[in-house]
Structure 1
Amino acid sequence: MLLVERQTPKGLLVSVCDDGLLGETFEGVDRDVSLTVTEDFYGEGAESVDAESALESLARASVANLVGSDAVGVAIEAGYVEEGNVLELEGTRHAQFMRM
């Protein structure tokens, strides 16, 4: 997985995507939703991490954006994301969470 941490005025923003998804665009079933896994957001300054390292970052995150079965699966298993709140876009999973 690729992980990027950005400190913002509102707290830590964590972006995690599965390997191989950079540059891909995924459409919703009715094409009403589209997600592009951009180099700027998910790749620039990214570090290749395992599930344990991703969880350490998610534990500190104020906001997280997750794309891919591995990234979203790790967040679900740890209780950061509920399965019912995950979007399916052309077979790719996407989720976000915000800690308030």
Structure 2
Amino acid sequence: MHAVRGMLQNRFWCKVVKTKFDILVAICDEDIVGKEIEIEKGFKVVANERFYKERLINESEALKLMQEATVGNLLGEKIVSLAIEKSIISPESVILIGGIPHAQFVKV
């Protein structure tokens, strides 16, 4: 949350993978990386550090990366809310994984 816009921003872990044709960004709320998420009783997934944890970024950097990306993977309340607020994704594209918002996008 913002105490004063720009002074206390949300932070995210991100990883960027560039290929010949695409730029993939994986962005996750800072506090989710490495945590186990229970999907069903006895079945858990982990917000994998190798997938998300390359660089710690702020909201403006996250927005720039999402705008430049051709493929995106977003995990967490804060990053998904930012993507919806900035019209990068629609609310209908969001699913919940163990109660945590998740969305993917592809630009063609």
Question: Structure 1 length as normaliser, TM-score?
Answer: 0.84
Q: Does 1:95 align with 2:103?
A: yes
CA deviation vs aligned residue, 1:43-71 (integer Å, no higher than 9, x gap): 1xx22111111010111101000000111
- Identity over aligned residues, as a percent? 28
Q: Does 1:36 align with 2:46?
A: yes
Instruction: Compute the RMSD of aligned alpha carbons.
Output: 1.9
Q: Using a 3 Å threshold, how does the CA distance of structure 1 residues 24 and 99 change in structure 2: closer, same or farther?
A: same
| Secondary structure of 1:49's aligned partner | strand
Is the aligned partner of 1:75 residue 2:83?
Answer: yes
Q: 1:20 to 1:53 in 2, by over 3 A?
A: same
CA 1:34–1:86: 2 relative to 1, 3 Å? farther
* Gapped regions of structure 1 (runs ≥ 5): none
Partner of 2:6: none
- Large movers: runs of 4+ above 4 Å: none
1:35 shift after superposition: 4.6
In our comparison, the structure showing a higher alpha carbon Rg is 2
Residue 14 of structure 1 corresponds to 25
Consecutive unaligned residues of structure 2, counting only runs of 5 or more, are 1-11
Q: In the alignment, which residue of structure 2 is the partner of 1:50? A: 58
Instruction: Kindly tell me the number of residue pairs found equivalent between the two proteins.
Output: 96
